[in-house]
Structure formats: C-alpha cells, structure tokens
Amino acid sequence: MDLIEFPSLGRRDLRDLRLGVDGAFKDFTRAYGETLESIFEPLKTFLVFLEDLLITSPWPLVLLVLVGIVFLMSRSRTIAIGSLIALCLIGFFGMWEDTMRTVAMVAVCTMVAVVFGIPIGILMARSDRAQALINPVLDLMQTMPSFVYLIPVVMIFGLGKVPGVIAVVIYAIPPMIRLTNLGIRLVDQDVLEAADAFGSSGWQKLRNVQLPLALPTIMAGINQCIMMSLSMVVVASMIGVKGLGQPVLQAINNQYFTMGVMNGLAIVAIAIIFDRATQAYGRRLQKHSEVVHG
C-alpha cells in the first residue's frame, strides 16, 4: 500500500461531487433567490434611506448631530471635541461622502446584529442545550474565512448592499451573542435568588434583574460588533459595498499608497470615535456596580 500518498477520492469523483453540490445550490438560488431578495428589501430601503440622509443633508447639520450623539453617549467633552476634529479632517481631505456611506452601513449592520444577537444570547443563557448547539455555529462564523461565505451570498443576492450587510453581520454578530450570554450568566446568584424569593416570573427576572445587570457586558458586545463591522468594510467593498473600503481596494489594485493610507486612517478615526463613545457609555452604565461594601 502506498503510504506516501493519502488515499483520496478519485479526481473524477471529486469533480462530480463539486458539480453536484454547486448544481443543487444553483437550482436553489434560481428557485428561491427572488423570495429571499424580497425579504431583505426593507433592510435595503432603510440602508439607502440612511445613506441618503447622511449624504444629502447639509454637512454642518450632520456633523452637529454626529458629535451630539457622541457627546450624549460619552458625556465627555474630550471625546466629543476629538470626534469633531477627526470628522472635519475627513471632510477636508475629501472623504466625507465615503465616510457617511460607511457610517450608515456600520450603523445598519450593528442594528441588525443587536436585533438578532441579543435574543439569541438570551436563549443561550437560559438553556445549556441551546448554548451547546449555538456555540459551534458561532465558532464556525468567526473562523471561516469571510470570502468563503461571500460566495453563496453573492450567488443568491448578486453584488450590492444586501449581501454586504449579510456578510458583515455574519462576521460581527458572534461577539454580540457571546457577550449577551456571558453577561446574563454572570449575574450574581444571590440577587437572582432574591428576585425569586419575591415571586418574580421568568420574564420579570429577565427584565428587572438579568438584562440591566448584564447591560455593561452587552454594551461591550455592541462595541466589539461595531469594531468588527468596520474591519469588514474593505472585504465588503469587494462585493460592491460603497464607502471607505472601495478606495482602499482601488489603492491596493493600483498601488496608490497615499490614497490607501488616507482612507485607512479615516476608517481608524471612525473606529476610535465609535469605540470611545460606546466604551464611555458602557462605563457609565457600570457605575452603580463598581464598589460593593461587604
């Protein structure tokens, strides 16, 4: 027996297998592609609306609103002023429109991740079986190279915003789910016992005790989710998502060093703004649980 060569399926068998699976998937796409697309239509409409709003509104107004949101979340003048300067520089260097597209994209992706991630995280926290089932899926989502799941997504939806959102959400939702689960599981048993002793129902316990106490951890999940969405913008630009990713991609293809660096820095700037604002917000939420007297 040949011990050097690993015994494998014949070349012909392998090809048949591939063709078979691909063929079946293509049939599936043809049969259900439009239905799936129509399901995601509202998402697309919303994304387009948000993008238009950010791009077509007068820039001083947009700037004011963005900095205002940052200030309300962080309650920190330093962070607000930093964001103001960063956004002004971005505008000055001609990246305003692309930045707004990226901000809209990240905002929508984060919203989708929150809407799906928190309930899934709650489910995981409530049932060990659900946790055992969902965890490997999350591992898969986090380690599978994103290019691989881009293929079926593009096959179904073609190029554009929707496949972009789906790809980004697949990549960015796992920390949202994991940290929601973790946050709820870490809630002090004594406090839960007290809630039980007063006759709380499962829902009352979740709403009055578990979610509020898990909130700082959930905020960390949202923060992670935003960061990961941002790191996906370049990859997403490969399937036609407009924004700061596209000029970077162009720069790679054409070896435009300055263009690459400028857009890259803009992504970094937005990431820092988002990060500081959400972290400061998370810290404020945590304030009440810091020092506990014995």
Q: Which is nearer to other proteins, 145 or 294 (CB)?
A: 294
Tokens found for residue 101: 């597209």
**Span 3-62, contacts to other proteins by CB under 8 A:** none
Under the binding rule (CB under 8 A), the answer on residue 128 touching other proteins is: no
Q: Are 100 and 55 in contact (CB under 8 A)?
A: yes
Give the range of 10-18, 140-148, 186-194, 233-241 binding other proteins by CB under 8 A: 186-194
Q: Residue 152 phi/psi, 5° resolution? A: -65, -35
Distances from the Cα of 172 to the Cα of 106, 116, 166, 229, 283, angstroms: 10, 12, 10, 6, 22
Tokens found for residue 244: 């700061």
Tokens found for residue 106: 């990240």
Q: Which is nearer to other proteins, 213 or 222 (CB)?
A: 213
Question: Of residues 38, 199, 253, 258, which one binds other proteins by CB under 8 A?
Answer: 199
Residue with tokens 């002004």: 88
Give the range of 25-33, 55-63, 104-112, 198-206 binding other proteins by CB under 8 A: 198-206
218: left (phi over 0), alpha (psi -120 to 50) or beta: alpha
Question: Of residues 1, 4, 61, 197, which one binds other proteins by CB under 8 A?
Answer: 197
In one letter, which amino acid is 69? I
Give the range of 52-60, 114-122, 196-204, 238-246 binding other proteins by CB under 8 A: 196-204
Under the binding rule (CB under 8 A), the answer on residue 194 touching other proteins is: yes
Question: Of residues 69, 132, 133, 191, which one binds other proteins by CB under 8 A?
Answer: 191
Q: Which is nearer to other proteins, 198 or 257 (CB)?
A: 198
Report how far residue 241's alpha carbon sits from residue 216's, in angstroms, rounded to the nearest whole number. Answer: 32
Q: Are 251 and 175 in contact (CB under 8 A)?
A: no
Q: CA neighbours within 13 Å on the CB side: how many for 164?
A: 31
Under the binding rule (CB under 8 A), the answer on residue 127 touching other proteins is: no
Q: Which is nearer to other proteins, 5 or 190 (CB)?
A: 190
Q: How far is the CB of 50 from other proteins (least distance, A)?
A: 32
In one letter, which amino acid is 94? G
Under the binding rule (CB under 8 A), the answer on residue 208 touching other proteins is: yes
**Rounded to 10 degrees, what is the CA torsion of 45, 51, 56, 60?**
140
**Span 264-293, contacts to other proteins by CB under 8 A:** 288-293
Under the binding rule (CB under 8 A), the answer on residue 212 touching other proteins is: yes
Question: Of residues 26, 196, 254, 261, which one binds other proteins by CB under 8 A?
Answer: 196
Contact residues toward other proteins (CB under 8 A) are: 188, 190-191, 193-201, 204, 208-209, 212-213, 288-294
